[in-house]
Amino acid sequence: MNSSAPVSEAVIQSNLKVLATLPFADTRDFENASRGLLARHGGGTITDDSGHVVWDFNRYDFLAGDAPASVNPSLWRQGLLNCQQGLFEVVEGIYQVRGFDIANITFIETDTGVVIMDPLTAAETARAAHALYTEHRGPRPVKAVIYTHSHADHFGGVKGVMTQEQADSGEVLVIAPEGFTEHAVAENVYAGTAMARRAAYMYGAALPASAVGQVGAGLNQTLATGSITLIAPTVLITTTGETVNVDGLEIEFQMAPGSEAPAEMHFYLPKYRALCMAENASHSLHNLLTLRGALVRDPRVWAQYISHAIELFGDRTDVEFGAHHWPTWGQEEIREFLTVQRDLYSYLHDQTLRMLNQGLTGIEIAEQIQLPPALENAWSARGYYGSVSHNVKAIYQRYMGWFDGNPAHLWQHVPTESATRYVSALGGADRTIELAHAAFAEGDFRWAATLLDHVVFADASNMAARELLAKTYDQLAFGIENATWRNFYLSGAAELRGENFGTPTIATSPDMIAQLEITQVFDAIAISVNGPQAWDLDLSMDWIFADQGRQFRTTLKNGVFVAIEKKDSSPAQVTITLAKPLLPLFLMGQIERATAAGAVIEGDASVLATLLGTLQPGNPAFAIVTPE
């Protein structure tokens, strides 16, 4: 990032305005983020077995004091809050380790042991957090692990705190909401490669952390890059009001499916008068549509779950804690916090629909919508992770789809084609860059980016355009409050300057692959088939899963791979008899490894090779701000 531009006057002024308008004198968050600190980790790094750095405690040492000109002061404040690390007492009996990963790990003491909630992303960071807890609270046997929802930053570290054998024997319960395993692995099956590539831009894990670089991710600082593990749940929670007693500790659950995650739940602990809101209430506006890409979430039911939690538990709750950020203490403060969170999602939902019914489109609503002052000035409602702008467009998309009704937008040229025409119409590349310079000088970085984006898509080798666009993205990054927007701008600038960092994080692991359903693996095969290459093929295969007592007939015809679970009386061209764990090997093209491990292929083996020959894996380093 050394080549980043100096901070422009326009950004300096807009950042000063933030400082003057937001309630920086309200320091309750700082009190709450440090409250109950028992011990800090000594610093340095957490590494995996091969010495690779999984977590660096000193990465954000530069975050101290007042915001520099190159960071929005509101985002800087969030970074200061998020980078606090250590073991914290929530109340006597509930402890959190924060700042060891992007999420929190929570330790809830039972009569003779401990329940661990949300064991982080990586086994290495979870193990280190557990060790810090044990050092200060003494060794307590793990009685249960709770996964609040199906995102990897809440389960990936599970093997750092327990073993598969402990789950199998029932020694440690693994408690999760219904649908957990399916959703935990499903996302990786479909758009996984593209999401992981874009997540690299969103979280900025490969960017240097500095005052002109990555300063955090809003939800917390960044993702740990260690071993993602998974132990399937042994206790599934299905209904609100259901209770589980773990070693004398009663846990009362509230289901919240289809909210921040497809499988999610809240829970209440009567003994501690404590409420856990998982990831549905946090100290940032969350994402209705994460910038890495996902299915659009439903703000209406999300708000309803928060309302329901207030009704169910509000009068009985003295402390609220979650999967990210710091707790809230005091019945009145909790009610205020949850009400702000609820009203935030409701307001965005209701006003977006009101405005779209007036004929406005997503891009217009995003500019026009204004939060009520009480939400605008609530720190927990600020857009560090989600933003009002992209959430409003997500709501439009959820209800209306990509088309805004204007036929001029129905059949547009692709970016390289329209860019060539725009640049020509504007009088050529040099003239377009000149116009962009003028926009830059006026502080209209959004217009400068639009002009220069056209030049780059018309001619990716235009270095003057690339450099000015990179500098423009730097300015947009320096002024923006949202951490994920900042990371996208800075990652785009890096790509323009010739750096393609691919996909630096690991999105999947052998444990997750092992949990895939047979049908999910077949889906993964189907979406990898290169259609045109397979148009003329007509293949049939039987798959006999001896360990499951199940049989599938799969066909490839018209470029479509179809899997149907049934015995077919007509003979298939080839039959594969295997145990389910071997199926993913075929997806990866490793036939020899599969047969060495016991898979038996009968019939025309070349049929299998032909199928696998049509599979096209995703590209984890595709270009984003430059034409492919």
Give the nearest distance from C-beta 278 to Zn ion in angstroms.
Answer: 9
| Segment interacting with Zn ion, rule: CB under 5 A, options 99-107, 281-289, 366-374, 422-430 | 99-107
Residue 147 vs 543, nearer CB to Zn ion:
147
Beta strands in 75-177, from DSSP E residues, in sequence order: 86-91, 94-98, 105-109, 114-117, 142-146, 173-177
Give the nearest distance from C-beta 436 to Zn ion in angstroms.
Answer: 38
Give the nearest distance from C-beta 323 to Zn ion in angstroms.
Answer: 5
Residue 150 vs 491, nearer CB to Zn ion:
150
User: For residue 187, what are the CA distances in angstroms to 83, 196, 292, 524, 621?
Assistant: 29, 10, 12, 11, 19
Dist CA 21 CA 377 (whole Å): 9
**What does the per-residue mask of binding to Zn ion show for 101-120, with x meaning CB under 5 A?**
--x-----------------
| Segment interacting with Zn ion, rule: CB under 5 A, options 54-62, 149-157, 236-244, 514-522 | 149-157
DSSP, res 546: T
| Token representation of residue 475 | 């300015």
Residue 29 vs 153, nearer CB to Zn ion:
153
In terms of phi and psi (left: phi > 0; alpha: psi -120 to 50; beta: otherwise), the region of 200 is alpha
**What does the per-residue mask of binding to Zn ion show for 347-386, with x meaning CB under 5 A?**
----------------------------------------
Residue 197 vs 325, nearer CB to Zn ion:
325
Dist CA 85 CA 91 (whole Å): 18
| Segment interacting with Zn ion, rule: CB under 5 A, options 152-160, 339-347, 551-559, 589-597 | 152-160
| Token representation of residue 521 | 């693996």
Give the nearest distance from C-beta 228 to Zn ion in angstroms.
Answer: 14
Residue 226 vs 479, nearer CB to Zn ion:
226
Residue 279 vs 343, nearer CB to Zn ion:
279
The answer to whether residues 482 and 147 touch, using CB atoms and an 8 Å cutoff, is no
| Segment interacting with Zn ion, rule: CB under 5 A, options 70-78, 91-99, 144-152, 189-197 | 144-152
* Residue, CB closest to Zn ion: 153
Cross-strand partners of 39: 87
> For Zn ion, how many residues bind (rule: CB under 5 A)?
4
Q: Which helix (H) or strand (E) holds 322?
A: none
From 284, 244, 316, 229, select the one nearest 75 (Cα to Cα). 284
| Segment interacting with Zn ion, rule: CB under 5 A, options 36-44, 68-76, 130-138, 151-159 | 151-159
Residue 260 interacts with Zn ion (CB under 5 A)?
no
SS3 426: coil
Dist CA 431 CA 465 (whole Å): 11
Residue 188 vs 462, nearer CB to Zn ion:
188
Question: What is the footprint of Zn ion within residues 262-301 (CB under 5 A)?
Answer: 279
Residue 73 vs 386, nearer CB to Zn ion:
386
The answer to whether residues 324 and 260 touch, using CB atoms and an 8 Å cutoff, is no
From 626, 212, 202, 204, select the one nearest 452 (Cα to Cα). 626
The answer to whether residues 149 and 278 touch, using CB atoms and an 8 Å cutoff, is yes
Residue 82 vs 540, nearer CB to Zn ion:
82
Q: Any idea how long the chain is?
A: 628
Phi–psi pair at 241, nearest 5 degrees: 100, -15
Give the nearest distance from C-beta 153 to Zn ion in angstroms.
Answer: 4
Give the nearest distance from C-beta 452 to Zn ion in angstroms.
Answer: 35
Residue 153 interacts with Zn ion (CB under 5 A)?
yes
Question: What is the footprint of Zn ion within residues 397-436 (CB under 5 A)?
Answer: none
Residue 153 vs 453, nearer CB to Zn ion:
153
Give the nearest distance from C-beta 154 to Zn ion in angstroms.
Answer: 6
Compute the chain's Rg from CA coordinates. Answer: 26
Distance of CA 477 to the CA centre of its chain: 20
Give the nearest distance from C-beta 485 to Zn ion in angstroms.
Answer: 19
DSSP, res 505: S
Give the nearest distance from C-beta 594 to Zn ion in angstroms.
Answer: 35
The amino acid present at 384, given as its one-letter code, is Y
Give the nearest distance from C-beta 386 to Zn ion in angstroms.
Answer: 13
Beta strands in 12-132, from DSSP E residues, in sequence order: 37-39, 45-47, 53-56, 86-91, 94-98, 105-109, 114-117
**What does the per-residue mask of binding to Zn ion show for 224-243, with x meaning CB under 5 A?**
--------------------
Residue 278 vs 490, nearer CB to Zn ion:
278
Positive or negative: CA dihedral 138, 143, 144, 145: positive
Give the nearest distance from C-beta 326 to Zn ion in angstroms.
Answer: 15
Contact residues toward Zn ion (CB under 5 A) are 103, 151, 153, 279
